[in-house]
Amino acid sequence: GLVATTAMNGANAPIAKTDWSPLKDKHVLVWPDNDDAGAEYARKSSEAIACGGAASVAVLHIPGEKSVKWDAYDAVDEGMDVWAFVQSAPRTIVKDAEPIPLHSLGELLADTSPMPDDLIAPRVLTPGGMIVFGGAPKVGKSDFLLSWLTHMAAGEPFLELTPSRPLRVFYLQAEVQYHYLRERIQSMGLPEAVSRQAANNLLVTPQLRLVLNDQGVEQVIEALQRAASQGGVDILVIDPIRNVFDGGPEGNSENDNNAMLFFLRERVEQLRDAVNPDAGI
């Protein structure tokens, strides 16, 4: 039930010498071979397909446990439910089917509907928004963050930062081992009533030794989905970025702008979209 096609000469074919026009107005999902050449060809060809007028274009993410060079033929050979896989597997959106919305000045002036509630007011973290919290080493960032998140999970204000309700927080931390994490939390002097209200809403990982590459993202998504099944996820916290950073094949530094954009778009936002597109980061 799937219309499948392939380009000539495989991953080494020059992109510019392929006629992509038959895909105009089509919804295209690129299924790359599971190797570097396949990933690079998928990136280049998907951009060319989008420029050629396809209605939408996405690149399928190959599951992390699959062997090198694994492809659609192997999926069929294994007896995989290919239709279910294509429908549900994570993907990178290259071109969305929805047109870019446009709003006139008149429409914007006339729209007096209520604003969405901030997750954390006043406008500190909005639905689907992202903030970066930083500071010099050893100034108490983690203690501050834990205190702040506990109050948000309890639905209580903290230093005039006010949650819209008791928020479900998934705190992915990659720095402190379990025993030292519990020692830190127990020694912080958190108000008993706040701790009690937040007890089931703030979920913290012990020190994770993983990088948010394709395999790491899959592991974290699985944990996020478990958390979501127990009551949802309103805020996703990653602390610190440097310990889990993956800038993709062409970037290896969090100080590289393209690498950071790759990390945020292909890694962090993929985590959020797997459980709640309106979650704050």
User: Residue 111 falls within a domain, yes or no?
Assistant: no
Cβ proximity of 222 and 216 under 8 Å? no
Region of residue 92 (left: phi > 0; alpha: psi -120 to 50; beta: else): beta
Which residues touch 250 (CB under 8 Å, ≥6 apart)?
258, 259, 262
User: Residue 180 falls within a domain, yes or no?
Assistant: yes
Q: In the chain, which residues have pLDDT < 50?
A: none
Cβ proximity of 61 and 215 under 8 Å? no
CA 109/CA 131 separation, integer angstroms? 28
User: Residue 41 falls within a domain, yes or no?
Assistant: yes
Q: What is the DSSP letter of 67?
A: P
CA 76/CA 228 separation, integer angstroms? 32
Q: Find, among 45, 43, 41, 48, the residue nearest to 11 by Cα.
A: 41
- CATH number of the domain within which 129 lies: 3.40.50.300
Number of domains within the chain: 2
Q: Are residues 162 and 195 in the same domain?
A: yes
Q: Are residues 75 and 145 in the same domain?
A: no
**Percent share of the chain, pLDDT over 90:** 58
User: Residue 45 falls within a domain, yes or no?
Assistant: yes
- Residue 131: domain span: 120-275
pLDDT in the model for residue 249: 66
pLDDT in the model for residue 144: 92
CA 97/CA 57 separation, integer angstroms? 8
pLDDT in the model for residue 258: 81
Q: What is the pTM of this model?
A: 0.69
pLDDT in the model for residue 250: 63
Q: Are residues 54 and 171 in the same domain?
A: no
Q: Are residues 144 and 223 in the same domain?
A: yes
pLDDT in the model for residue 93: 87
Cβ proximity of 272 and 279 under 8 Å? yes
Strands (E), 106-150: 120-121
pLDDT in the model for residue 252: 63
The reply to whether omega before 122 is within 30° of 0 (cis) is yes
Q: Are residues 268 and 152 in the same domain?
A: yes
pLDDT in the model for residue 251: 59
Q: Are residues 169 and 130 in the same domain?
A: yes
pLDDT tens column, 15-52: 888 999 999 999 999 999 999 889 899 999 999 999 98
